């Protein structure tokens, strides 16, 4: 579908081989690690810092009328996406639904969350509908509604992890997962699950922990300098939202799904996968599956394998960190440092998909004029073409390397800061981070290999 998705196009005249960029990136991490050990002796990100936007702007931005307008926009876009999916053309690139879901929503909201905070919360159609229904029900009943069930502590972020895994399955495994009608039906099915979750556990609780996309974009928004607190938008130190992430069950799994699914998407373009996958598919066919289902089963195994690989690699670093002492078990450390993986997830998404967002994102200009792909021209932009000359292959590579390095340096900072807060002895804190540095170097090498033309 999206052929230029990963920016693995013809690169020429790179001054050094691609793998040398990987070595340089690893060196940057080692130097950053040493610099942190020397220049960052006290935790700086653990204490919340926040001040409201000046001139009452923060209150206006978070006010009820703005919230209602944003919610209405979210509901409209959701309705348009489902309608276009069900009634529009079957062409993936000419229908509003696939481009909006996979590019504008899934990818576009990531940089917006990092820049402007948790914007999806404001535009979330399910939250808006849930709150509107609760308001109407309260009015109709003329009394307070029964209290929702207590959200089970063990459930944590597991529903969100499963939701993101299901979305990745639709995107990367299901053979017609980019068909407009498939996407519309999936959106409706997900809505049903979300409304049940909100009815059982309350709108805000389910949005905070169970609703996959809210949790997903909220994680990225914690990198942002913008935060809404008690009905007011304000500013905080960048990255400082992540140390306050509750170490709930399922958090590591969720982030492993985030990194693993992007990794798998890159891996499917590599020769090792293309060498092995036909044999696995044949094996599945020999078990009695149809060719299409055998291929889907193969990709599902690959996706699960990638997620387990990422989770396992992180756990390896955590187990190593337990060896320095301090009295912390592996499970505790895994939760304490989980937030440091979020910038890595961002680096993977940004490096892997930014050309897709840059190029296919332009399609929304013609799709708003013809969302169904049936020849309409509502805003006079239906003939707009995608400009593929916006960025060259070499520039793409430089940006990708920059995203990967910046994300991993940010991860090192967060892990270092948490270690200083956790360990009584600074030497132990730094020693525990040798292992996290190993994890970061591993993820950096993997990211650059996936993005490189080696074995492509």
Partner 1 sequence: MTFQIAHAGHWITSGPFFLPVVAFPIWLGVTESRERRREDR
Note the residues at the interface with partner 1 (CB under 8 A): 17-20, 22-23, 26, 271-272, 275-276, 279-280, 282-283, 320, 323, 431, 434-435, 437-438, 441-442, 444-445, 448-449, 452, 454-455
Cβ proximity to partner 1, 19 vs 135, nearer residue: 19
Provide the minimum distance between the beta carbon of 428 and partner 1 in the complex, in angstroms, as a whole number: 10
Q: What span, in angstroms and rounded, lies between the C-alpha atoms of 121 and 130? A: 12
User: What would the 3-class secondary structure string for 50-116 be?
Assistant: CEECHHHHHHHHCCHHHHHHHHHHHHHHHHHHHHHHHHCCCCCCCCHHHHHHHHHHHHHHHHHHHHH
Torsion 149-153-157-160 (CA) sign: negative
Provide the minimum distance between the beta carbon of 69 and partner 1 in the complex, in angstroms, as a whole number: 48
Q: What span, in angstroms and rounded, lies between the C-alpha atoms of 164 and 260? A: 11
Cβ proximity to partner 1, 20 vs 141, nearer residue: 20
Contact 405, 28 (CB under 8 A): yes
Cα dist from 45 to 100, 219, 237, whole Å: 35, 16, 8
What tokens were used for 113?
């969350």
Q: What span, in angstroms and rounded, lies between the C-alpha atoms of 297 and 301? A: 6
Residue 400, C-beta contacts closer than 8 angstroms, at least 6 positions apart: 7, 351, 352, 354, 448, 451
384 φ/ψ sector (left φ>0, alpha ψ -120 to 50, else beta): beta
Pick the closest to residue 339 from 403, 253, 406, 244 (CA basis). 244
Contact 433, 337 (CB under 8 A): no
Report the chain's C-alpha Rg in angstroms: 23
Q: What span, in angstroms and rounded, lies between the C-alpha atoms of 14 and 24? A: 14
Q: What span, in angstroms and rounded, lies between the C-alpha atoms of 70 and 75? A: 9
Cβ proximity to partner 1, 31 vs 200, nearer residue: 31
Cβ proximity to partner 1, 63 vs 277, nearer residue: 277
Cβ proximity to partner 1, 20 vs 188, nearer residue: 20
List, in sequence order, the alpha helices (H) in 153-267.
Answer: 158-172, 180-201, 203-209, 212-221, 251-267
Residue 132, C-beta contacts closer than 8 angstroms, at least 6 positions apart: 71
């Amino acid at each position: 579908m999206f052929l230029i998705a990963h920016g693995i196009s013809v690169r020429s005249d790179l001054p050094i081989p691609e793998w040398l960029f990987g070595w340089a990136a690893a060196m940057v991490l080692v130097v950053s690690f040493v610099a942190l050990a020397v220049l960052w002796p006290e935790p700086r990100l653990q204490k919340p810092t926040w001040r409201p936007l000046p001139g009452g702007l923060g209150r206006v931005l978070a006010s009820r009328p703005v919230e209602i307008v944003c919610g209405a926009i979210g509901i409209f876009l959701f309705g348009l996406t489902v309608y276009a999916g069900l009634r529009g053309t079957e062409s993936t690139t000419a229908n509003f639904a696939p481009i909006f879901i996979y590019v504008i929503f899934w990818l576009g909201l990531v940089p917006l969350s990092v820049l402007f905070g948790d914007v999806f919360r404001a535009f979330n159609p399910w939250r808006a509908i849930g709150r509107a229904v609760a308001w109407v029900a309260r009015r109709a009943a003329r009394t307070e509604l029964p209290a929702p069930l207590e959200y089970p502590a063990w459930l944590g972020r597991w529903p969100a992890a499963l939701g993101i895994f299901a979305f990745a399955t639709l995107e990367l495994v299901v053979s017609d997962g980019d068909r407009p009608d498939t996407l519309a039906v999936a959106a409706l099915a997900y809505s049903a699950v979300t409304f049940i979750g909100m009815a059982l556990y309350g709108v805000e609780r389910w949005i905070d922990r169970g609703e996959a996309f809210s949790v997903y974009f909220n994680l990225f928004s914690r990198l942002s300098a913008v935060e809404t607190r008690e009905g007011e938008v304000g500013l905080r130190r960048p990255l400082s939202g992540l140390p306050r992430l509750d170490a709930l069950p399922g958090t590591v799994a969720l982030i492993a799904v985030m990194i693993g699914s992007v990794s798998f998407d890159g891996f499917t373009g590599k020769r090792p996968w293309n060498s092995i996958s036909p044999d696995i598919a044949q094996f599945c066919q020999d078990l009695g599956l149809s060719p299409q289902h055998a291929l889907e089963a193969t990709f599902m195994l690959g996706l699960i394998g990638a997620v387990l690989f990422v989770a396992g690699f992180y756990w390896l670093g955590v187990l190593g960190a337990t060896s320095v002492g301090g009295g912390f078990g592996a499970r505790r450390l895994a939760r304490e440092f989980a937030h440091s993986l979020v910038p890595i997830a961002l680096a993977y998404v940004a490096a892997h998909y930014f050309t897709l967002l840059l190029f296919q994102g332009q399609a929304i200009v013609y799709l708003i004029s013809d969302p169904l792909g049936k020849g309409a021209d509502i805003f006079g932009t239906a003939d707009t073409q995608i400009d593929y000359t916006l960025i060259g292959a070499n520039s793409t590579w430089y940006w990708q390397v920059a995203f990967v390095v910046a994300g991993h340096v940010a991860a090192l900072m967060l892990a270092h800061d948490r270690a200083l807060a956790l360990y009584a002895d600074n030497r132990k804190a730094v020693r525990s981070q040798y292992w996290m540095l190993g994890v970061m170097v591993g993820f950096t090498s993997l990211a650059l290999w996936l993005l490189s033309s080696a074995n492509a």
